[in-house]
């Protein structure tokens, strides 16, 4: 059976390789001892057919030590992150965040619940006209939108003025500590 592009349907599905499609696509990358290894966890799990040959190229003994080194580096990085989490600078950034977010969240939820409770328990109050067809419920509903935008603005302003610089310093310090713990390789 032929497909619309005149190739047999089973060619190219990854289950079998056709002789007519075997071409030289250039040099196959074979890692050597001096090559740079990426710290990408998917680096060793290349997809089939993306330039590697069917036979293993390069010594198989290189892979386990690299994985062990990565696991050791992961354990070292975990220690670095725990150390940073316990640091006074990180705790200060977190406390500044909490000092804004917790009261803002509680206030906004009270405002929202108050609106819903007033709409269900006091319909005569919410139906009271303010100006023409505009009533209290409409103003309170629009106030919900306005308060959302104001809270977003206040949050971004607070983050910019009170947390961003300190968080950036913690980030750079963490990257330096991680780099040093990993043996100086970046």
Contact assessment for residue 162 and residue 96, using Cβ atoms and an 8 Å cutoff? yes
pLDDT at 7: 53
Q: Confidence band (pLDDT; 50, 70, 90) for 71? A: low
> What is the per-residue pLDDT for 63?
46
**Cα 93 from Cα 159, distance rounded (Å):** 10
pLDDT (0 to 100) of residue 40: 52
Contacts of 32 (CB under 8 A, 6+ apart): 58
Nearest to 167 by CA among 89, 82, 87, 77: 89
Sign, Cα dihedral of 175, 176, 181, 185: positive
Q: CB neighbours (10 Å) of residue 56?
A: 10
Mean pLDDT of the chain: 74
pLDDT in tens, 33-48: 555 555 555 545 544 4
Q: What is the DSSP string of 112-174?
A: HHHHHHHHHH-HHHHT-EEETTEEHHHHHHHHHHHHHHHHHHHHHHHIIIIIHHHHHHHHHHH
Residue 93 exposed, middle or buried by CB count within 10 Å (0-12, 13-18, 19+): buried
Query: Residue 94 CB: number of other CB atoms within 10 A?
Result: 14
The DSSP call for residue 66 is H
Over residues 133-152, the mean pLDDT reads 93
Q: Render pLDDT for 117-140 as a digit per residue (tens, 0 to 9).
A: 999 999 999 999 989 889 999 999
Separation CA 67–CA 65 (nearest Å): 5
């Amino acid at each position: 059976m032929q497909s619309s592009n005149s190739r047999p349907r089973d060619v190219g599905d990854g289950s079998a390789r056709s002789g007519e499609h075997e071409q030289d696509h250039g040099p196959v990358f074979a890692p050597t001892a001096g090559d740079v290894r990426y710290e990408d966890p998917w680096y060793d799990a290349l997809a089939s057919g993306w330039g590697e040959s069917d036979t293993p190229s390069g010594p198989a003994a290189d892979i386990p030590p690299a994985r062990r080194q990565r696991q050791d580096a992961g354990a070292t990085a975990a220690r670095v992150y725990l150390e940073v989490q316990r640091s006074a600078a990180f705790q200060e950034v977190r406390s500044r965040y909490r000092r804004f977010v917790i009261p803002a969240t509680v206030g906004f939820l009270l405002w929202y619940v108050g609106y819903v409770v007033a709409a269900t328990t006091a319909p005569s109050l919410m139906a009271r006209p303010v100006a023409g067809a505009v009533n209290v419920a409409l103003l309170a509903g629009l106030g919900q939108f306005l308060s959302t935008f104001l809270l977003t603005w206040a949050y971004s302003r607070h983050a910019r003025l009170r947390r961003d610089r300190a968080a950036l310093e913690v980030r750079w310090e963490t990257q330096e500590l991680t780099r040093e713990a990993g043996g100086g390789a970046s």
